[in-house]
Amino acid sequence: MPAASSHLPETRRSRLIAIGLICGAMLFFALLDASAKWLSAHMDPLQTVFVRYAGSMVLVLVLLNPWSRPGVLRTKRPVLQGVRSLLLLGSTVLNFIAIKYLQLAETVSIMFAGPLLVALVAGPLLGEWPGPRRMAAIAVGFLGVLVITRPGFGGMHPAAILSVFGCICYSFYVLATRQLAAHDPPETTMVYSGVAGTLVMLPVIPFVWSMPQTPLAWAILLGTGLLGGFGHWLLILAHRLAPATVLAPFIYSQIVWMIVLGWFVFGQFPDGWTFAGATIVISSGLYLLYRERVRKLPETAARID
């Protein structure tokens, strides 16, 4: 008992640090999206995608390279690594194009449907079939996406469709990441993401590149790589200190940053439909997390006993 008691403060401290790291990562990702939206008025979004991945690749290889981390490039599932990297790249491309026309809060609200889609397709792909309560939460969550996009009612720019497809790509990327976690360390996966994204986008650059005209444009463009790289690095550090079930609810803090940045940088504030839909989607996602913790609780209690 004394040993267990002394261990509790350390565990709580680690979890608090992890929560701070995950919230910091969400801030970096919100700043990345805001930067991409600002840059879309000055250059092709594909140019921003390339610099985001190239800058991130340089940063990651400085921190994680074969000399400082021997074996970091060694993967047991090279095909899955490639597919996962392409899914992440596809999600980024679709998001950066959509964000040119949509508000920041609108795109992130649609992306928050990702956990719902992951829970839905994890059944046939991973054998993790959702029960009736989780299925109901998934259905309600997708209803929230319809409230945000309002298809057929002219309430949102058609670019919302790109956000929906970006969410689909991101969901399958999450599933691929979960499968890779059993074979490769997260550092290896992070390196492959940056390298693959850069190499795939490289042939596109000659057709879309335009020279930034101001020092501010250069700074924001180069900053996208740092924001993306540091954001993913903070995610890795956070998940080393606390389980995903503890950290997952704090991912939704990103919408706060997106609303604030959208308001102060672009003078855009979400309408009532976006707030209502986002509330539905986030509530459904949180309920799924709750059901996941309830489902695992008996197993945890058994291990403690």
CB 84 within 8 A of CB 189: yes
**Confidence band (pLDDT; 50, 70, 90) for 303?**
very low
Q: Return the top range by mean pLDDT from 100-109, 145-154, 240-249.
A: 100-109
pLDDT at res. 288:
80
pLDDT tens track for 76-115: 888 999 999 999 999 999 999 999 999 898 898 888 888 8
pLDDT over 70 at 155, yes or no: no
Is this prediction's pTM over 0.85? no
Tokens 């707030």 map to which residue? Answer: 275
Q: Which string of b and e fits 158-197 if b means at least 16 CB within 10 Å?
A: ebbebbbebbbbbbbbbbbbbbbeeebbbbbbbbbbbbbb
Q: Return the top range by mean pLDDT from 12-21, 178-187, 188-197, 259-268.
A: 259-268
Residue type at 186 in one-letter notation: P
Tell me 127's DSSP state. Answer: S
pLDDT at res. 153:
58
pLDDT at res. 31:
95
Q: Distance between alpha carbon 72 and the CA centroid of its chain, in Å?
A: 23
Average pLDDT over residues 246-262: 87
Average pLDDT over residues 30-44: 94
Average pLDDT over residues 141-170: 81
CA angle 35, 149, 110 (to 5 degrees): 50
pLDDT over 90 at 49, yes or no: yes
Tell me 64's DSSP state. Answer: S
pLDDT at res. 126:
66
- Is 212 strand, coil or helix? coil
pLDDT at res. 93:
95
Task: Tell me the domain boundaries of the chain.
Answer: 15-304
Mean of the per-residue pLDDT values of the chain: 83
pLDDT over 90 at 233, yes or no: no
* Cβ neighbours for 201, distance < 8 A, ≥ 6 positions apart: 46, 49, 50, 53, 54, 89
Average pLDDT over residues 39-61: 91
Report the percent of the chain where pLDDT is more than 90: 33
Token reading at 51? 């610099």
Residue among 23, 58, 50 nearest 209 (CA):
50
pLDDT over 50 at 5, yes or no: no
Average pLDDT over residues 70-77: 82
pLDDT over 90 at 199, yes or no: yes
Q: What is the distance between the alpha carbons of residues 64 and 77, in angstroms, rounded to a whole number?
A: 19
pLDDT tens track for 112-126: 888 888 877 777 766
